[in-house]
């Protein structure tokens, strides 16, 4: 019996790692949706143990020699891409000691679990007690990675979510947005002040909202044999590609946010469900970056979900599950979902104000990881930037201010830019779709969503991580990321 090649040995190790990651993903989903409060300490210890096991798999000394030998083997283009992604994961893991990995898992679990009640109680002081440790450990991680990679601490963390992207790129892109966004928001609000709308009336029972959400998920092609919908404090898409778990949250006085949240998370889920099944067990078979992942959720939510064509398609479903009333007509739903109004909450923000929320968080977390500010400085900076960017007063309102997001509780610093990058990629995709399919909106209104899904499957989902982010976008649209398409999309939707 012949010995396996170095590449085959690597495939075996990374397949084992993927199975551990499967368990980790399900444990995390359960922790956010089903686990009773008293289970958190034991769950955190179990998760930390699993994180250490996955870290040990990636830092096995045999992998270094196998990676080196595999470079000399006769590999296909797909295998070469796979080897590249294996090496990227291996390099990152080998820069971090197991003790740090375990400490981060435990600290993140403590902070996130306590945050659920601290957020509700507006308890910034209580949150800070756990958060300081998360910040310290994240800075330690950032320092180790930055020293080895020759970059800034924040760039080292962002590289986990956006490979190849640097904060200098984000500063330039966001700097341009900050130049035109305030004026556009003011211009649109002045225009919309002359356009009265009917506000939805009544209480909307959670079960009816859930049934509406499930119907829209089915319309969007979600595979219910490979996933499910649940409730959590903070909406998310979790699980694994073969078993995708999405969540939302409901308010009986407002169905709009839960519905659009479901559409958003379904975009994430369709990406996972559309990844090539023969590569899922390897890093090359995963989503390319979180910016690309967010481009799928925002293709569904912003480009498709808030379009007049799609809202006219689902208006009968809304009326069927929530009852007929003038506010739920197709035209009025379009007005409601395009209404611009600066507010406190990022996940509830309209399409135009959303980038300001992201830019604010990016600027704060970057300064925090670079050591320019401390955790105690966050509320004052938050208040200052919310007032400057959106004219919203958050002083003393931690629950709807700096405690609203889950990301920082477990040290996910470097993620926030992915949201607006995703919105920009999505605008670029749909510009190309409309160029290639001039009657796109008419087809959407008629219920023919396959034209959108087929384009995404061909150009994004099926490609997984075979290409770098820039190369993927160039292949799909003919050019690298071009934020001008995002600006043009907003002008067309809100001022036309």
Q: Which residues are catalytic?
A: 265
The secondary structure of residue 286, as a DSSP letter, is: S
467 annotated as ligand-binding: no
d(Cα 45, Cα 106) in Å, to the nearest integer? 7
User: What are 25-29's contacts with CB under 8 Å, separation 24+?
Assistant: 25/238, 25/239, 25/240, 26/239, 26/240, 26/243, 26/245, 28/238, 29/238, 29/239, 29/245
Contact between 141 and 157 (Cβ < 8 Å): yes
268 assigned ligand-binding residue: yes
Is the separation of the CB atoms in 386 and 404 below 8 Å? no
Rounded CA-CA distance 42/46 in Å is 6
Distances (CA, A) of 171 to 47, 145, 166, 354, 381: 35, 21, 9, 17, 18
Task: Give the separation between CA 331 and CA 319, rounded to whole angstroms.
Answer: 13
Strand pairing partners for 251? Answer: 254
What are φ and ψ of residue 280, in 5° steps?
Answer: -60, -30
Q: Give every CB contact of residue 163 below 8 A, 6+ residues apart in sequence.
A: 88, 289, 468, 469
Residue 121 corresponds to which tokens in the numbers above? 């109680």
d(CA 484, CA 496): 17
Please tell me whether 294 is known to bind a ligand.
yes
Question: CA distances (Å), 52 to each of 16, 25, 63, 231, in order?
Answer: 14, 15, 17, 29
- Between CA 161 and CA 54 the distance in angstroms is 19
What are the backbone dihedrals phi and psi of residue 237, each rounded to the nearest 5 degrees, phi first?
Answer: -115, 120
Contact residues for 450 (Cβ-Cβ < 8 A; gap 6+): none
Give DSSP secondary structure letters for 157-172: HHTTTSTT--HHHHHH
> Which residue positions form the known binding site for Zn(2+)?
264, 268, 294
């Amino acid at each position: 019996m012949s010995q396996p090649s170095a590449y085959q040995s690597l495939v075996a190790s990374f397949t084992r790692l993927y199975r551990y990651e499967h368990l980790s993903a399900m444990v995390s989903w359960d922790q956010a949706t089903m686990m009773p409060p008293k289970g958190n300490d034991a769950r955190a210890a179990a998760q930390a143990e699993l994180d250490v096991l996955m870290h040990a798999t990636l830092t096995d000394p045999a992998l270094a020699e196998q990676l080196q030998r595999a470079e000399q083997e006769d590999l296909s283009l797909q295998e070469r891409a796979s080897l590249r992604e294996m090496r990227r994961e291996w390099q990152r893991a080998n820069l971090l000691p197991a003790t740090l990995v375990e400490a981060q898992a435990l600290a993140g679990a403590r902070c996130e679990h306590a945050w659920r009640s601290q957020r509700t109680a507006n308890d910034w002081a209580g949150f800070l007690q756990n958060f300081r440790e998360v910040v310290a450990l994240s800075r330690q991680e950032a320092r180790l990675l930055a020293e080895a990679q020759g970059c800034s601490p924040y760039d080292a963390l962002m590289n986990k979510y956006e490979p190849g992207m640097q904060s200098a790129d984000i500063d330039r892109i966001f700097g341009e947005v900050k130049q035109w966004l305030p004026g556009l928001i003011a211009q649109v609000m002045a225009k919309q002040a002359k356009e009265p709308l009917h506000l939805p009336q009544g209480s909307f029972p959670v079960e009816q909202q859930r049934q509406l959400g499930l119907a829209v998920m089915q319309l969007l092609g979600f595979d219910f044999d490979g996933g499910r919908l649940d409730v959590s404090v903070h909406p998310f898409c979790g699980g694994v590609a073969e078993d995708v778990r999405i969540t939302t949250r409901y308010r009986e006085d407002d169905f709009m946010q839960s519905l659009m949240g479901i559409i958003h998370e379904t975009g994430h889920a369709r990406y996972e469900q559309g990844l090539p099944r023969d590569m899922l067990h390897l890093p090359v078979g995963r989503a390319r970056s979180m910016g690309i992942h967010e481009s799928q959720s925002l293709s569904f939510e912003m480009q498709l979900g808030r379009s007049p064509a799609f809202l006219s398609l689902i208006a009968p479903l809304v009326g069927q599950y929530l009852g007929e009333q003038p506010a739920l007509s197709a035209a009025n739903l379009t007005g409601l979902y395009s209404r611009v109004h600066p507010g406190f909450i990022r996940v509830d923000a309209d399409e135009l104000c959303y980038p300001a929320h992201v830019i604010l968080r990016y600027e704060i977390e970057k300064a925090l990881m670079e050591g320019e500010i401390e955790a105690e400085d966050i509320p004052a900076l938050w208040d200052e930037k919310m007032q400057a960017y959106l004219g919203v007063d958050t002083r003393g309102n931690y629950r709807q201010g700096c405690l609203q997001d889950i990301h920082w509780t477990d040290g996910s610093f470097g993620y926030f830019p992915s949201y607006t990058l995703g919105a920009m990629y999505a605008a670029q995709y749909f510009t190309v779709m409309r160029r290639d399919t001039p009657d796109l909106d008419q087809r959407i209104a008629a219920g023919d969503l396959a034209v959108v899904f087929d384009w995404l499957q061909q150009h994004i989902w099926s490609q997984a991580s075979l290409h770098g982010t820039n190369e993927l976008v160039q292949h799909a649209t003919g050019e690298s990321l071009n934020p001008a398409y995002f600006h043009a999309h907003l002008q067309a939707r809100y001022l036309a």
